[in-house]
Amino acid sequence: MSETEPKTAAERGTVQPLQTTSGETSERTRPEWVEYEFEGEAKLVAENLDVYYGDDHAIKDVTMEIPERSVTALIGPSGCGKSTFLRCLNRMNDRISAARVEGSVALDGEEIYQDGVNLVELRKRVGMVFQSPNPFPKSIRDNISYGPRKHGDIETGWLARLLGRSDEAAERELVERSLRQAALWSEVEDRLDDNALGLSGGQQQRLCIARALATDPEVLLMDEPASALDPIATAKIEDLIDDLSEEYTVVIVTHNMQQAARISDQTAVFLTGGELVEYGDTDRIFEDPRSQRVEDYISGKFG
């Protein structure tokens, strides 16, 4: 599996003659094998999504539907755009000034790339966990209650207590619920006021998951959440993702194909150049890929 990617558009053109130029994009029809039939409702629908970083075309015309209450894995070689795609789902790419997004993403049928979208509400509903654990340099309790507190959902502190509006009981409940959901409660219940940076890497990552769960999201985006962790911590995170999928829609980016095969219900394969090449049931993708390129990638012949 090669980690390099073509540097220029011309190079890409020679490597992948299938690429269309911009004039032809609208006329091109999507390959049929991108269609994926599933039961239940689609939580997120991306249609003809293109992302550019300056002149670099990072994602090309991606269309996919993500079913609710399931685990969707995005796999592919480095630089194939899977993380970029993930960051489109809660508009984190807005934070990169050079990034430009075209196309449409709908959450429960509502377009998120339109004027008047409340980013606070969107990100409350679509939470995110990052590659390296990034708890704030605050206490465990403050890490969990940070989001709800900033949203005004709970009020704490001496001023709230003075005004008789303190929700300390609600905060305690929220902290316990989130930490239990993230399978961390039993390990930290007696040191909630300690600094979160004192936890181990795996605990920190579960704390980050708990922090994302505290805002009561519907979708949880995970960007290689276990890549910085050891096998035992990884196993705990995987078990956790499995539990979470009963209640939440989980979209996970991973480099690790075994991990995708273990935990996901459906898998989307992105390949170099930012194309979604194949999307379907995880078992089917790994046992019987329809695209030759996907088969090569999964069997390790092509990166």
Partner 1 sequence: MAGATRSELVESETSAADAVAAGAVGLSAVLFALSMLALFEGITLSEPVAGVPTVTVLGALLVVLGGAVIAFGVGSRVGLVQTNPSSSAGLIAASVAGLSWFVVAGGFASQTLALGTVGGLLGGVAVGGLAFAATVMTREDVGSTVPIGAIPLLIGLVFLTGLIGPGWVWDLGWAQTASFTAEFVIPVATLFGVLFAGWAAAKAYAGFGARGRRTGAFTLIYLNAISIVAVLFILVAFTVVQGVPGLLTGVEFGPGTGPQTSLFGVSFTLPLSVPFVMNGVALLNDYQGVLPAIVGTFWLVVGAVVFAFPLGIGAAIFLTEYAERGRFTQVVEVATNGLWSTPSIVFGLFGFAFLVPRFGNQKSLLSGMLTLGFMLLPLVVITSREAMLSVPDEYRDASAALGVTKWETIRSVVLPAALPGVVTGVILGVGRIAGETAPILLTMAGGTFVPGGQTVDVIGGFVFTSTPPFVANPELLQATSALPYQLFALITAGVGLGSNVADPEGFRWATALILLVVVLSFYAIGIATRYYFRSKLRHE
Give the interface with partner 1 as residue ranges (CB under 8 A): 90, 92, 95, 97, 119-124, 127-128, 130, 132, 134-137, 146-147, 150-151, 194-198, 208, 211-212, 215
Nearer to partner 1, 132 or 227 (CB): 132
Least gap, CB of 92 to partner 1 (angstroms): 6
Nearer to partner 1, 59 or 92 (CB): 92
Nearer to partner 1, 151 or 301 (CB): 151
Burial class (CB in 10 A: 0-12, 13-18, 19+), 39: exposed
d(CA 26, CA 269): 22
Half-sphere exposure of 276 (CA within 13 A, CB side): 29
d(CA 279, CA 284): 10
Least gap, CB of 40 to partner 1 (angstroms): 26
Indicate the DSSP class of residue 139.
B
Nearer to partner 1, 16 or 132 (CB): 132
Nearer to partner 1, 88 or 128 (CB): 128
Angle formed at CA 126 by CA 210 and CA 86, multiple of 5 degrees: 105
**Cβ(271)–Cβ(294) under 8 Å?**
yes
Least gap, CB of 183 to partner 1 (angstroms): 20
Least gap, CB of 220 to partner 1 (angstroms): 11
> How many other β-carbons are positioned within 10 Å of the β-carbon of residue 131?
16
Least gap, CB of 208 to partner 1 (angstroms): 7
**Cβ(53)–Cβ(92) under 8 Å?**
no
Nearer to partner 1, 214 or 261 (CB): 214
Phi, psi of 36 (to 5 degrees): -140, 120
Q: b/e map of 280-290 (b: 16 or more CB within 10 Å)?
A: bbbeebbeebe
Nearer to partner 1, 53 or 136 (CB): 136
Nearer to partner 1, 71 or 210 (CB): 210
d(CA 174, CA 160): 17
Least gap, CB of 133 to partner 1 (angstroms): 9
Least gap, CB of 256 to partner 1 (angstroms): 22
Closest by Cα among 221, 245, 241 to 233: 241
**Cβ(160)–Cβ(167) under 8 Å?**
yes
Least gap, CB of 172 to partner 1 (angstroms): 19
DSSP 112-131: SSSTT--HHHHHHHEEEE-S
